[in-house]
Amino acid sequence: MSLCPHMQQRLFSHQCVQACQSLPACKPVLTPGWVVEIVDRYDIDCVPESSRMDKVSYIRDDSIPKNCSRFMKVHKYMKAPIYIYYQLDNYYQNHRRYVKSRSDKQLLDGQKYHDTSSCQPVESNNNRPIVPCGLIAWSLFNDTFEFIREGAELKVNRKNIAWKSDRGHKFGKNVYPFNFQNGTLIGGGKLNPEIPLSDQEDLIVWMRTSALPSFRKLYGRIEEDLDVDDVVVVNLTNNYNTYSFGGKKKLVLSTSSWLGGKNDFLGHACVFVGCSSLTLAIIFMLLHVKYRRPYGDTSYLPWNRKSFSG
Amino acid sequence: MAAASSRKRKGKIRWSKLYSFAACFRPLTSEERPAARELIGQPGFSRVVFCNEPHLHKRKPYKYPYNYISTTKYNVLTFLPRALFEQFRRVANFYFLLAAIFSLFSLAPFSRASLIAPLVFVVGISMLKEAVEDWHRFLQDLDVNNRTVKTHISNGVFVDKLWKELRVGDVVKVNKGEYFPSDLLLLSSSYEDGVCYVETMNLDGETNLKIKRCLEASLCLNEDEEFSKFKATVHCEDPNPNLYTFVGNIEFEKESYPLSPSQLLLRDSKLRNTDYIYGVVIFSGHDTKAVRNSTRSPSKRSRIERKMDHIIYILFSMLVLVSLVSSFGSLLYLRQDMVDWWYLQLPDDNKVNDLDDSNSEKYDDRFFNPSKPVQSAGLQFIRALILYGYLIPISLYVSIEVVKVLQTMLINKDIELYDDVTCKSVQARTSNLNEELGQVEMILSDKTGTLTCNQMEFRKCSIAGLSYGGDITEVDLAASMRMNTDFEPFEFSIDETDGATRSFEPFEFSVSSFSAQNGNARLTKTEGPVIKGFNFRDDRLTNKNWIHGSNLFDITMFFRVMALCHTGIPLEDDNHKTDKLSYEAESPEEVSFLIASQEFGFQFCRRTQSLMVLKEFDPSSMKEVEREYKLLNLLEFSSSRKRMSVIVSNEDGQIFLLCKGADSIIFDRLADNGKAYEQATTMHLSSYAEDGLRTLAFAFRTIEAAEYESWNTIFTQAKATIGPEREELLEQASEMIEKDLILLGVVAVEDKLQKGVPECIDKLAQAGLKIWLLTGDKRETAINIGFACSLLRQDMKQFHLSLSRDAESNNQVKDMKEDILQQIESSYKMVCEERNKEAPFGLVIDGKALEIALRGDVKDEFLQLAVNCASVICCRVSPKQKALITRLVKQYTGKTTLAIGDGANDVGMIQEADIGVGISGMEGMQAVMAGDLSLPQFRFLERLLIVHGHWCYQRISKMVLYFVYKNVAFGLTLFYYELYTSFSGEVLYDDWYMTMFNVMLTSLPVIALGVLEQDVSSDICLQFPALYQQGPRNVHFSWSRIIGWILNGVVSSLVIFLANIYILSPTAMRENGFVADIDSLGAITYTCIIWTVNCQIALITSHFTWIQHLSIWGSILLWYIFLLVYGALPPNFSGNAFQVLVEGIGSAPLYWMITVLVVVVSLLPYFIHIVIQRSYFPMDDHIIQEMEQCYKKYDVRDNEMWVREQRNSQRSTRIGFSARVDAKILSFNQQLQQKKLSIYRSVTNSPIYRSITTSPFS
């Protein structure tokens, strides 16, 4: 059923022209590219058999090491850069309470900005403000990944994974984490207080809240090509708690094309729309040939129609 | 100067004495007086007026209002509260007000500014419109209030004073032709006997002049100087709206005299035929009867707007439904799942805290409180109501108002609707009925001043059995022209044209000669100077050629009747350029007779109390001689007698009775030897009547001196009688002398129709409109006009509903009811029987019968009959009945009615109808003030309805439907997103995107559509009036269309939302691996919406001007510009939209691709719909559009098919000029066939033919 990505794109461009009969659109020149995606769900497998009955207490127990190794086999040649995503399902980052719980001004100005009321319920601890405040920052994702191929560590570039405008204008260069995760209640990851927020790209990525409850976030880039049948060993620390609400955690390696990542829906939609447009065009053409209504045929005028009753 | 010259003439004649019948009601009023006197001083009759002492009225208790009039709705103080109240009476506005209030308490999902700004904008614009409209009303008032009138100040000096400064007690002098500034007590007039003539057309619509008479006691006050010492006190009734009663008395020189309505001059009536009057102000300003009578015009709403309310209700129920779904969903999530979402840190008291939650106590989020789920759900419900408010098109009302104001501007500025005679153009006074103009099905029209100019023209006459001045009528011309085009090769002429007469006689015609005559007739019409009231061309009579006629005596007598049998007086021309005189008389008919007789050489030059002087042209001496006729008696015209006679004796002592009257009356009274011309005259009469001319028969008799003497004693006795039997005695007396008449002939005068009226009625009839004529005039006049403007025609079956004499005399309501019911039923039976036949029906009903017919149980039958008749004429109806008919027709048929009239008597009708139109050409302003529109002339109704009405209807309905579509398409995406956010109330779009949606990004194209859209051009609209039927049948705003558009909106929203989330999630959207976050998804989805709704309107629009292009494509461009600018602002202002286009989505090719894909798919359903509709179920406007396109290359008018279709479209009409032409052609054709047949027979019967046919050669 699944078409190869290349075919999809070819088909898409072809069908789109059909679909756009009414609105002429420019036809982009396509460069062939393979979009390869490896998805690995690790949230269950990374919990030891013994703890699987009560995953929540396992994840909350700080004394247990959360290291875990996964093996990923490369089915197709993957050209660098290969994007590393972590994917969370059933995680409502778009919940209104959650989305609102941040202070953009504080992110830019740090402790100079005092009003953190928008960050409720995580605005201060021990009567001192938290930087960065708010639920989003507090629940920062903190699983870590290491990639090893054939015994050698794959270099993961974790720079430039956030929007440049965010780094430049929304997160202050002189703002350092302060009083963060110091409370009794620890949500997610901690931040290095030595590094200004504008360089904490994990945080910046996390704070661009997702639109839907199932989302991916960029973790980094592998800047080496992966060959077919390469086996990548992933050493991860499974810190983040998705178990209490039954969320899934996935690790995704994906290349991208000019249209972004792998997207079956786009291809299917284009094929479907193209086909239906074509079918309709043919039907109307046939109808037009067979039951043609002469242009400006006056017999359709109401006063010429017998059934007309004024 | 003028006053001096008029004073000279004063005293020539005791004008009032001419009216022998005028005094007959006086005894009745005197009987009522004692009763009235007792009332004075009682409650309700407590007003005291100190004449000539207005300063006494400055203090209480005699402080009465100034004569200042205000018709404005608001004043400076009340404007704000009242206008705001009006605004928030609208459901949608009130809803948004509530939303704005909630936004103050942090309940709303949006920022305060984004909720309040559009509301302020919308309400502000509506209020601005109200203010501007009220300002115009204020200016109009100002105009009236600043008129001036001569007012007495002191010592007999009269100066100009503004109307508004007039006080009760002021003595004023009103000159001829001026309006009375307030209700005045008549003190004296330029006539010695203190009468004056008043035109009350503005009050009751009656065009005849009314006589008012001052008290004998105040007769002496007829000079300016007399008023220096004048003092009197009036005690009278309190202000009331009753026009026909007045109770009071005046204390003058220590004597008290009773007052009656005949001393009261009402505001808004006009002084006529009297040089000046003196009067004292009794009621001023808002106390006057005219103002008390006027009701504030009800605010009218169009059908579309009323239906729009229902749409709003549907959308409201949708809103409540999705809000309920949201709040229940939220409740479920809150109970089941949300407590487990540790990242939300929900306040949780019930369950054991997994995390030690210390913050929960101080921070309590009411929307997500698991311990109080129901309360949270309730709050979520309110929030959802506000959130999904985008389903309710907030800017719909304001856009419609803006559009309507612009439409009104287009209508007002239409050069085709400009009358260069009066320099006035159409004025839409309220703009909220524009689209209603396209749905009118019934027109209720007044006659005088609306259809006719209230001016008579002498057109034709038949003297001694010969018809004069009869050129071919328009109908014949049109019929012959069309026959010539239809039967080009048909050469068939029968030359029987009588050399002596050029008049058109039935059975004497030739198709080919018509065209020649046609040209001549046109030519002669334009020749020569035009004499007002005299439109007569016949060489046999004009230029004194009548002296060569055969029946010289009859002709002379005819002219004498014309010159003597009347009540008019000649007016002296100030500049004696010509020896022609102008005349004034009670009715314009008489004026036209006098002018005509002057043209024929019988100039009526003087009249004294008992003498009438004619300048006659004597055929024997060929010189003008002055002859005096002694006026012996004058038998007044009355509606029951239908005739008028004078008895005169000439210089030789011969006594003549000269009589004019309705033909039936005269014919009944002919002597045996006086019927010589009866047959010929009857024929002429019917042909005149068919042309809509008003006819009067002239007759005379000579009376022996002895007979006269004996009769005169009876008559004088009758005249002297006092009491109710006086009238009867007088009638009997005149009956005795008006007999054995000798018929002279008939005259036909044209009640001159206003310019273009027949053509306009014709077009309106073709458009499928029914026209009812409601007039206060008598039946004959009404029927004549019916013929003249083709509402009636000869082959039409006419029903006359009137009370039979017995029923009327019995005065039993039950009898009358039965009588009418029977008439209605028999007529209706006939209608049912003959419905399939071609002959249309006409209904004529008079006021008395109407009164019965409109009562409870009869009215349904009556209306059923009336609706089935092609035309309805109601004569002798009162203003109240006019309004009643309008209301009943509106209620019974449920159709949109338009009432048009010019006088104050039409005000009720104008206010009652769905659309009221006032004619502004006349002087009175009541109808105009009451109307929703004002037209300078009736004929503009054609373009107003068929072009502007049609367009506005289409525009507004398209606009409303589109509005519904765009708001549903947008609003539902918000709801779908809720499904993905666990109903938490998060919004996909930035606040300002949403605010911009209705205000900027989608408002201009729809306004352009509403103002400029046209399905076909105005020419085509007028050529195919049948297109107008789309409005009355409401094809563009039917429920199926409304539901269709709502569904279309639902589909579009689904496509837009689903496509976006499936394409953009969860994978990367750009090559650099970035994924779409909530801001990007919002911006992309929003882009798709902007594109879709704007492209949708491009599909709807059928008339593209650069404005449409600019607004549609400009709106889309504006969105990108907005996004760019907004995103470039510092993040403090732009928030989530910071750099979203530049950095986030703009560089992603996927974004642009999604836009194209989504727009195509979401427009596909509508596109398929219009493809199928155009190809297989085209509407009339589609076909005509195509025809227009097809034949643009050629000249459209020359195209054969074009002409044929144009004619076909008119086929089904039953009234109007074209219908008459069709009927005429039919009868011509039948006659031709007969002629052919008879010729064929005569030929075949001839021996030569037989010999040929029997010859062996064939």
What are the residues whose beta carbons fall under 8 Å from the beta carbon of A188, sequence distance 6 or more? A138, A139, A140, A141, A142, A239, A240, B343
Residue with tokens 């579509």: B965
Q: Are A256 and B1072 inside 8 Å of each other by CB?
A: yes
- How far is it, in rounded angstroms, from Cα A171 to Cα A110? 9
Any idea how long chain B is?
Answer: 1258
H/E segment holding residue A251:
strand A248-254
H/E segment holding residue B412:
helix B394-412
* Phi, psi (degrees; rounded to nearest 5) at A79: -90, 140
Mean pLDDT by 10 residues, chain B (1258 residues): 39 42 36 51 79 82 83 83 82 80 73 78 82 84 88 85 87 88 88 80 67 81 82 86 80 82 85 85 85 70 85 90 93 87 75 43 67 86 86 81 88 86 81 87 86 82 82 61 48 36 36 38 44 77 79 87 84 62 78 86 81 84 86 79 86 89 85 85 83 85 89 85 73 86 88 84 86 82 82 80 69 76 84 72 84 81 85 83 87 90 81 88 69 87 91 93 93 93 89 85 91 88 86 91 95 94 88 89 94 94 92 94 91 82 87 93 93 86 80 57 66 66 75 78 69 54
Each residue's pLDDT tens digit, A155-181: 999 998 998 888 888 898 988 998 888
Q: Are B1073 and A216 inside 8 Å of each other by CB?
A: no
Torsion A158-A162-A165-A168 (CA) sign: negative
| Nearest residue in A to B441, CA atom | A310
Give the minimum alpha-carbon distance from B161 to chain A in angstroms, rounded to a whole number. 59
What are the residues whose beta carbons fall under 8 Å from the beta carbon of B269, sequence distance 6 or more? B179, B180, B198, B199, B200, B201, B202, B203
pLDDT at position A14, please?
54
Q: Are A214 and B1061 inside 8 Å of each other by CB?
A: no
Q: Are A212 and B1065 inside 8 Å of each other by CB?
A: yes
- How far is it, in rounded angstroms, from Cα A275 to Cα A263? 19
Q: Are A97 and B1082 inside 8 Å of each other by CB?
A: no
Say how far residue B634 (Cα) sits from the centre of its chain.
41
DSSP 8-state code for residue B1258: -
Chain A environment of B1065 (Cβ under 8 Å): 211-212, 214-215
Give the minimum alpha-carbon distance from A63 to chain B in angstroms, rounded to a whole number. 17
- How far is it, in rounded angstroms, from Cα B871 to Cα B869? 5
Instruction: Write the residue in B1150, B1161, B1180 that is nearest to A260 by C-beta.
Output: B1150
Average pLDDT over residues A281-298: 83
Say how far residue A122 (Cα) sits from the centre of its chain.
26
Q: Are B1167 and A265 inside 8 Å of each other by CB?
A: no
- Mutation pick from A100, A139, A259 vs chain B, by most beta carbons of B within 10 Å, is A259
pLDDT at position B205, please?
60
* Phi, psi (degrees; rounded to nearest 5) at B966: -70, -35
With beta carbons less than 8 A apart as the criterion, state whether A170 and B1138 touch.
Answer: yes
With beta carbons less than 8 A apart as the criterion, state whether B1155 and B1088 touch.
Answer: yes
Chain A environment of B1184 (Cβ under 8 Å): 301
Give the minimum alpha-carbon distance from B1112 to chain A in angstroms, rounded to a whole number. 15
Give the minimum alpha-carbon distance from A105 to chain B in angstroms, rounded to a whole number. 7
- How far is it, in rounded angstroms, from Cα B849 to Cα B803? 6
| Nearest residue in A to B1139, CA atom | A165
- How far is it, in rounded angstroms, from Cα A138 to Cα A152? 34
Q: Are B1067 and A210 inside 8 Å of each other by CB?
A: no
Q: What is the dihedral of CA B494, B496, B502, B505, to 10 degrees?
A: -80
How many residue pairs bridge chain A and chain B with CB atoms within 8 Å of each other?
Answer: 256
DSSP labels, A98-109: HHH---HHHHHH
Query: What is the strand order of the sheet B871-875 is part of?
Result: B427-428, B933-935, B915-919, B896-901, B440-445, B770-774, B871-875, B841-846, B797-801
Q: Give the CA distances from residue B158 to residues A304, B145, B171, B447, in Å, rounded to whole numbers and listed in that order.
A: 72, 19, 9, 40
Instruction: Write the residue in A94, A108, A246 that is nearest to B986 by C-beta.
Output: A94
Structure confidence at residue A80 as a pLDDT band (50, 70, 90): confident
With beta carbons less than 8 A apart as the criterion, state whether B364 and A121 touch.
Answer: no
| Nearest residue in A to B380, CA atom | A96
pLDDT at position B486, please?
46
| Nearest residue in A to B1070, CA atom | A260
Q: Which two tokens stand for residue B1074?
A: 């970035």
B642: left (phi over 0), alpha (psi -120 to 50) or beta: left
For the stretch B697-722, what's the b/e string if a residue is b when 16 or more beta carbons lie within 10 angstroms of its beta carbon?
Answer: bbbbbebeeeebeebbeebeebbeee
Tell me whether residue A165 is exposed, middle or buried, using C-beta atoms within 10 angstroms of its C-beta: 0 to 12, 13 to 18, 19 or more.
middle
Can you name the residues that pair with A252 across neighbouring β-strands?
A39, A85
E strands along B732-778, which residues? 742-753, 770-774
Chain A environment of B988 (Cβ under 8 Å): 211
- How far is it, in rounded angstroms, from Cα B433 to Cα B787? 32
With beta carbons less than 8 A apart as the criterion, state whether B594 and B604 touch.
Answer: yes
Total-model pTM = 0.80
Q: Give the CA distances from residue B718 to residues B14, B15, B28, B713, B724, in Å, rounded to whole numbers and listed in that order.
A: 21, 21, 16, 9, 11
| Nearest residue in B to A122, CA atom | B359
Each residue's pLDDT tens digit, B844-902: 888 888 888 887 778 888 888 888 888 889 887 877 788 888 988 888 888 899 999 88
- Mutation pick from B1051, B1075, B1189 vs chain A, by most beta carbons of A within 10 Å, is B1075
Query: How do strand B148-154 and strand B871-875 relate by DSSP bridges?
Result: unpaired
- Mutation pick from A61, A295, A303 vs chain B, by most beta carbons of B within 10 Å, is A303
Chain B environment of A60 (Cβ under 8 Å): 354
- How far is it, in rounded angstroms, from Cα B711 to Cα B727? 17
- Mutation pick from A11, A60, A94 vs chain B, by most beta carbons of B within 10 Å, is A94
Chain A environment of B1196 (Cβ under 8 Å): none
What number of other Cβ atoms are within 10 A of residue B955's Cβ? Answer: 25
- Mutation pick from B336, B868, B987, B1077 vs chain A, by most beta carbons of A within 10 Å, is B1077
Q: Which two tokens stand for residue B894?
A: 């449920």
Q: Give the CA distances from residue B623 to residues B558, B581, B619, B629, in Å, rounded to whole numbers and listed in that order.
A: 19, 19, 7, 18
B454: left (phi over 0), alpha (psi -120 to 50) or beta: left
| Nearest residue in A to B1077, CA atom | A210
Q: Are B1068 and A23 inside 8 Å of each other by CB?
A: no
Chain A environment of B1029 (Cβ under 8 Å): 302, 310
Chain B environment of A139 (Cβ under 8 Å): 342-343
What are the residues whose beta carbons fall under 8 Å from the beta carbon of B995, sequence distance 6 or more? B113, B114, B117, B118
Q: Is the peptide bond before B1066 cis (omega within 30 degrees of 0)?
A: yes
Q: Which residue has the higher pLDDT, A9 or A307?
A: A9
Chain B environment of A28 (Cβ under 8 Å): 1149, 1153
- How far is it, in rounded angstroms, from Cα A152 to Cα A154? 6
What number of other Cβ atoms are within 10 A of residue B550's Cβ? Answer: 9
pLDDT at position B26, please?
37
Q: Are B1131 and A121 inside 8 Å of each other by CB?
A: no
Chain A environment of B1178 (Cβ under 8 Å): 293, 300
Each residue's pLDDT tens digit, B586-632: 777 888 888 888 888 888 887 776 788 888 888 888 888 888 898 88
pLDDT at position B1161, please?
93
Q: Are B1149 and A258 inside 8 Å of each other by CB?
A: yes
- How far is it, in rounded angstroms, from Cα B128 to Cα B1017? 32
Q: What is the dihedral of CA B1090, B1096, B1099, B1102, to 10 degrees?
A: -80
- How far is it, in rounded angstroms, from Cα B384 to Cα B324? 8
Each residue's pLDDT tens digit, B694-751: 888 999 998 888 989 999 888 888 877 766 677 788 888 888 888 888 988 898 888 8
Give the minimum alpha-carbon distance from A257 to chain B in angstroms, rounded to a whole number. 5
What are the residues whose beta carbons fall under 8 Å from the beta carbon of B989, sequence distance 6 or more? B974, B1082, B1083, B1085, B1086
pLDDT at position B1093, please?
95
Residue type, B14: R
pLDDT at position A278, please?
94
**CA atoms lying within 13 Å on the CB side of residue B1020:** 21
Q: Report helix angle B1078-1100 to B950-980, nearest 10.
A: 160
Q: Are B1074 and A266 inside 8 Å of each other by CB?
A: no
Q: Report helix angle B112-145 to B91-104, nearest 10.
A: 130
Instruction: Write the residue in A161, A170, A256 that is nearest to B1071 by C-beta.
Output: A256
Instruction: Write the residue in A121, A258, A293 that is nearest to B1071 by C-beta.
Output: A258
Torsion B271-B274-B275-B277 (CA) sign: negative
Residue with tokens 């269709």: B1044
Q: Are B1131 and A16 inside 8 Å of each other by CB?
A: no
Give the minimum alpha-carbon distance from B1185 to chain A in angstroms, rounded to a whole number. 8
H/E segment holding residue B678:
helix B678-690
Q: Are B354 and A60 inside 8 Å of each other by CB?
A: yes
Q: Are A218 and B1142 inside 8 Å of each other by CB?
A: no
With beta carbons less than 8 A apart as the criterion, state whether A142 and A188 touch.
Answer: yes
3-state secondary structure of B624: strand
Chain A environment of B1208 (Cβ under 8 Å): 298, 301, 303-304
Q: Which residue has the higher pLDDT, A35 or B1086?
A: B1086
pLDDT at position B609, please?
67
Q: What is the dihedral of CA B1235, B1238, B1244, B1249, to 10 degrees?
A: -50
With beta carbons less than 8 A apart as the criterion, state whether B436 and B914 touch.
Answer: yes
Give the minimum alpha-carbon distance from A237 to chain B in angstroms, rounded to a whole number. 20
Residue with tokens 């805290």: B353
Q: Give the CA distances from residue B673 to residues B677, B701, B736, B740, B743, in Å, rounded to whole numbers and listed in that order.
A: 10, 11, 18, 8, 9
| Nearest residue in B to A221, CA atom | B1073
Q: Which residues of B are catalytic?
A: 446
| Nearest residue in B to A271, CA atom | B1157
Chain B environment of A87 (Cβ under 8 Å): 1066
**CA atoms lying within 13 Å on the CB side of residue B58:** 5
Q: Which two tokens stand for residue B518?
A: 């046609």
Chain A environment of B1145 (Cβ under 8 Å): none
3-state secondary structure of B1215: coil
pLDDT at position B294, please?
66
Instruction: Write the residue in B981, B1190, B1212 that is nearest to A310 by C-beta.
Output: B1212
Can you name the residues that pair with A233 across neighbouring β-strands?
A71, A148
Helices (H), B981-1077: 991-996, 1003-1012, 1018-1023, 1039-1064
